[in-house]
Amino acid sequence: MKIKIHLALVLSLFCGLVLSRAQAAQFELSIEIPKISTSEYHAPYLATWVETADRQTVLATSLWYDDQEKWLKDIRQWWRKTGRSQAKPYDGVTGATRRPGMHKLVLKSQEIAASLVPGEYVMMVEAAREVGGREVLSLPFSWPIKTNTTVKVHGEKELGTVTLIINQ
């Protein structure tokens, strides 16, 4: 009887620790969509997802698109990794395309943290524009974090500065 009670106590403490760790972490992305001078400008479709260091998809985290699903295939890496196996409503935070400027995206932190085991990961950000280009950026991070973490990368054309912030 005592062993069962101790085992139940240990399991509940462990689960509580895991849940508190998952609840404590907050994932935010700041994404800059640069102003591009062109005669026919379309706001980019954008997708984000988490991969392991060996490029295995863990979780789709966001998708910006309008209702024209035919263009989702242009977000090529996202489409191959996770998009084509999904259907409406798409996994993650879904929203409309964004115009040029800086955009903040607060991700479903509990879902992300619960999907991660200790190791190395990459937050992937891919943008593609109709009658335009495409660009993929990688933001590496370790899990679990020991201190607040900020990873910043700079795009070349379709994306400006992209920053991943993970706070405890």
Query: Across 13-17, 63-67, 71-75, 143-147, which has the greatest mean pLDDT?
Result: 143-147
Query: For residue 9, is it within any domain?
Result: no
DSSP-derived letter for residue 95 is: E
d(CA 97, CA 166): 24
Query: For residue 14, is it within any domain?
Result: no
Query: For residue 33, is it within any domain?
Result: yes
**Domains: count for the chain:** 1
pLDDT value for 14: 43
Query: For residue 20, is it within any domain?
Result: no
d(CA 19, CA 67): 36
| Domain housing 163 | 26-167
The residue type of 62 is: S
Query: For residue 1, is it within any domain?
Result: no
Query: For residue 144, is it within any domain?
Result: yes
CA atoms within 13 A on the CB side of 121: 24
Q: Are 34 and 100 in contact (CB under 8 A)?
A: yes
Q: Average pLDDT for residues 24-42, to the nearest whole number?
A: 90
User: Tens digit of pLDDT for each residue in 138-151?
Assistant: 999 999 999 999 99
Q: Average pLDDT for residues 118-133, to the nearest whole number?
A: 93
Query: For residue 6, is it within any domain?
Result: no
Query: For residue 10, is it within any domain?
Result: no
Q: Are 42 and 158 in contact (CB under 8 A)?
A: no
User: Tens digit of pLDDT for each residue in 36-55?
Assistant: 988 888 889 999 999 999 99
Q: Does pTM surpass 0.85? A: no
